[in-house]
């Protein structure tokens, strides 16, 4: 009985310390030191409405917005079903999907120069990567400029300001957070007209 009582006390103390006090303390500390990150790195538009997380990709069907790479997460950009397609290079489904994306991108970007960047037809491992390379964004500039009736030079300038450099100056590659870039375009040039309603029509 004595051993049981000691074990029970240790269990209760451990439960209180690691199951209640420690999580509450870390949550409070995070709210004080990193409130934005602790609450999901949420992004808001000019009206203060939450339009997504800076850490999660989402679909942008409106041609006036820069677009991300395809997503195999659930039905697309589903944060509850993060993952890749797991299709191999010989997969017929993968080849058909890439061909369809190439046809769509070619149709939607008639003024784009150069080959379609590979990342715009390949999914990320998580399906939720919110970033693309500056070159993939630059390829889309003519479409975005035409849809917004703004010069390509002004769109390019906004894109240049949104480029994030390498971590610590040497790790990784420069990237562009697409949600932040699209919000910057709305702040500078105003929100564009909504595209025709559809099952995948999503705008920030």
> Are 43 and 179 in contact, with CB atoms under 8 Å apart?
yes
- DSSP H helices, 17-91, are 22-33, 35-38
Binned at pLDDT 50, 70 and 90, residue 115 comes out as: very high
pTM of the predicted model as reported, rounded to 2 decimal places: 0.80
pLDDT of residue 203: 45
> How many beta carbons lie within 10 A of that of residue 95, not counting itself?
12
Q: Cβ(203)–Cβ(59) under 8 Å?
A: no
Query: Could you read off the pLDDT of 116-141 as tens digits, one per residue?
Result: 999 999 999 899 999 999 999 999 99
d(CA 98, CA 64): 23
Which residue, among 59, 100, 101, has the nearest Cα to 79 in the 3D structure? 59
Q: What is the pLDDT of residues 138-159, one digit of tens each?
A: 999 999 999 999 999 999 999 9
**pLDDT confidence of 167, banded at 50, 70, 90?**
confident
- Give the pLDDT score at 197: 55
Q: What is the mean pLDDT of residues 57-70?
A: 94
pLDDT band at 70 (very low <50, low <70, confident <90, very high): very high
In the predicted model, is pLDDT for residue 12 greater than 70? yes
| pLDDT category of residue 196 using cuts at 50, 70 and 90 | low
**At residue 204, does pLDDT exceed 80?**
no
């Amino acid at each position: 009985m004595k051993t049981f009582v000691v074990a029970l006390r240790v269990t209760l103390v451990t439960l209180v310390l690691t199951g209640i006090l420690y999580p509450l303390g870390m949550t409070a500390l995070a709210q004080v030191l990193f409130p934005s990150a602790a609450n999901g790195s949420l992004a808001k538009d000019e009206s203060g409405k939450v339009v997504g997380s800076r850490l999660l990709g989402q679909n942008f069907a409106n041609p006036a917005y820069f677009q991300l790479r395809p997503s195999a997460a659930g039905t697309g950009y589903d944060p509850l079903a993060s993952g890749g397609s797991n299709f191999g290079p010989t997969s017929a489904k993968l080849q058909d999907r890439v061909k369809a994306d190439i046809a769509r991108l070619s149709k939607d970007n008639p003024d784009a120069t150069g080959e379609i960047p590979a990342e715009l037809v390949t999914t990320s491992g998580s399906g939720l990567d919110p970033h693309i390379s500056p070159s993939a964004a630059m390829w889309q500039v003519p479409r975005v400029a035409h849809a917004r009736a703004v010069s390509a030079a002004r769109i390019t300038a906004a894109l240049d300001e949104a480029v994030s450099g390498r971590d610590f100056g040497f790790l990784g590659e420069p990237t562009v957070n697409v949600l932040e870039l699209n919000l910057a375009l709305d702040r500078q040039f105003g929100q564009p007209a909504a595209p025709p309603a559809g099952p995948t029509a999503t705008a920030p």
